Structure 1
Amino acid sequence: MRTSARTRYALRAVAELAAAPPGPVPAERIAEAQSIPRRFLDNILLQLRRGGLLHSRRGSDGGYWLTRPAEEITLADVVTIVEGVPEGGDHGGYPGVAGPLADVWSVLRDHEERLLTEITLADIARGTVPGVRPPVGGR
């Protein structure tokens, strides 16, 4: 699965919000904590807000926060807002001996989709991602 830089940045930004104490988090703090270019982040946060995933407030005490608890937001929710609904892909099959490859790609897409719908932002914030082994030496 290839993900765009925009999607990876969006996932990092919402993970930062999921781990933050309740209340607005300034965009500048998210950008610094996740090493995301600020102008790029502003566009991503706007897209996530328009997609219904974030609330925002302006002003000196403003910032962004999740619209729902992190336990209720999956990685698939974020990816769908940023990337849109995935296309069905090539289901026409391949000729001859390569025919079974179409089934492999289909199973792979199904697995990716299932994994993204099972992992929540709370899992990411806690560092307890189901089905993923922690890196050697801890987090």
Structure 2
Amino acid sequence: MRISARADYAVRAVLEFAVRQGDAPVKAEKIAAVQDIPHTFLEGILGDLRRAGIVDSRRGGGGGYRLVRGATAITVADVIRAVDGPIVSVRGERPTGLSCTGSAQPLLPLWIALRANVRKILEGVTLSDLATDALPEPVRQLAAGPEAWENP
């Protein structure tokens, strides 16, 4: 699985909003500077997040962006889907829409299991978990194993 720059930047941007939850709207320029994200690229990402109902925007001197819902109600999966679409795809299709024949038949349940596991993790981590450095224990355990950091 590959996490796109767009998805990484989107998660970093909304994490900034989560850390500042309850504060006044934050300007895109500030988020771009703090997270070292190209400003014009971030504006496009924020537009996708706004259309997905994750952030809203306010114009003017006191304007900027902020989360629409609380950080406990927004998962990392929500953010990634808003900017990149489906979490796991094979050749651009959801695994459930594929068909495999002959010797490739065992691939379909493999792709579906991969999708289920990725979704389980990304849907199980909220912005609040990240903002408070309180990842769910199963995620911490997966990341703590030495094999998680090594390439075979």
TM-score band by shorter chain is 0.7 to 0.9
For 1:44, the equivalent position in structure 2 comes to 45
Correspondent of 1:92 among 72, 87, 99: 99
For 2:7, the equivalent position in structure 1 comes to 7
Match of 1:55, SS state, is: strand
Structure 1 CA distance for aligned equivalents of residues 12 and 39 of structure 2:
13
Q: Which runs of 5+ in 1 are unaligned?
A: none
Structure 2 CA distance for aligned equivalents of residues 53 and 118 of structure 1:
17
Say yes or no: does 1:127 pair with 2:133. Answer: yes
TM-score after normalising by structure 1: 0.85
Correspondences of 1:65-76 after superposition (within 5 Å): 65-76=66-77
Identity %: 46
Question: Structure 1 stretches (4+) deviating beyond 6 angstroms?
Answer: none
The amino acid across from 2:113 in the alignment is V
Match of 1:60, SS state, is: coil
For 2:123, the equivalent position in structure 1 comes to 117
TM-score after normalising by structure 2: 0.78
Correspondent of 1:108 among 75, 98, 114: 114
Match of 1:118, SS state, is: coil
User: How many residues matched?
Assistant: 135
Q: CA deviation at 1:56?
A: 0.9
Structure 1 CA distance for aligned equivalents of residues 76 and 59 of structure 2:
26
Q: Which runs of 5+ in 2 are unaligned?
A: 88-92, 145-152
Say yes or no: does 1:26 pair with 2:27. Answer: yes
Structure 2 CA distance for aligned equivalents of residues 72 and 4 of structure 1:
23
Q: CA deviation at 1:92?
A: 2.7
* Equivalent pair of 1:94/1:102 in contact (CA under 8 Å): no
* Equivalent pair of 1:70/1:122 in contact (CA under 8 Å): yes
> What is the alpha-carbon root mean square deviation over aligned residues?
2.1
Q: CA deviation at 1:85?
A: 3.5
* Equivalent pair of 1:27/1:41 in contact (CA under 8 Å): yes
